[in-house]
Amino acid sequence: MFGINNYPGFIMAGVLLNIAPGTDTFYIISRSISQGTKAGVVSALGVCSGAVCHTLFAALGLSVILTTSATLFFTVKLAGAFYLAYLGCVLLKAPPAVTPQDKKAAHPHNSLRKIYCQGILTNLLNPKVALFFLAFLPQFISTDSPYGPLPFLILGATFVTTGTLWCCFLACSAARTTSYLRKNNAVQLGLQKITGLVFIGFGVQLALSKN
């Protein structure tokens, strides 16, 4: 079908890979725990939008550049590490994101938009994600496929769809589990500080990774 081999097998493998914890997973969980369901779901949608961009890059062959340029790979990785550390520092310095006295104003539109954009950048600035798409998708595409980038787009859309469903479920579950904690302003501030430290840790881990 459209130059794709073993599509059911790809779906199964994709679901397992989506479930496997990674930087994006912990990013979404951290947002959900510290800021609630809306922030968690929006961050999940941002991460998945970044995956859409990676799909397009892979389909157009742009991701190949990362495999052939060590300098570019290092630059993108360092940018991603600094960005994660920056997000962590912002959370450490910021007041509680949600206050029980003003629930209606807890997530203004511009705040959710910022969270969404941060999710996109967190995913885009991780070169390992680009290399993953470039290495994983071709395994299910016929070498003599006459359909050009179409198989990449179909497989990428499938992976992003299952990933979005899983990430949104994860965000809702994490937020609901800790909802009673966020009713306490002091506890919520503590959760936010922990989230900031987690982001900084991810940034350090990404910067120190060898590949």
pLDDT digits (tens, 9 = 90+) for 184-208: 566 666 766 776 787 788 778 767 7
Place of tokens 């969980």: 29
| Residue 11 in domain | no
> Can you give the residue range of the structural domain that contains 178?
24-97+104-208
Place of tokens 């994600």: 129
| Residue 91 in domain | yes
pLDDT: which is higher, 157 or 200:
157
Rounded Cα–Cα distance for residues 81 and 199 (Å): 9
| Residue 18 in domain | no
| Residue 162 in domain | yes
What is the arithmetic mean of pLDDT over 127-154? 76
Nearest CA-CA partner of 173 in 58, 57, 31: 31
This prediction has a pTM of 0.68
Question: What per-residue confidence (pLDDT) applies to 25?
Answer: 81
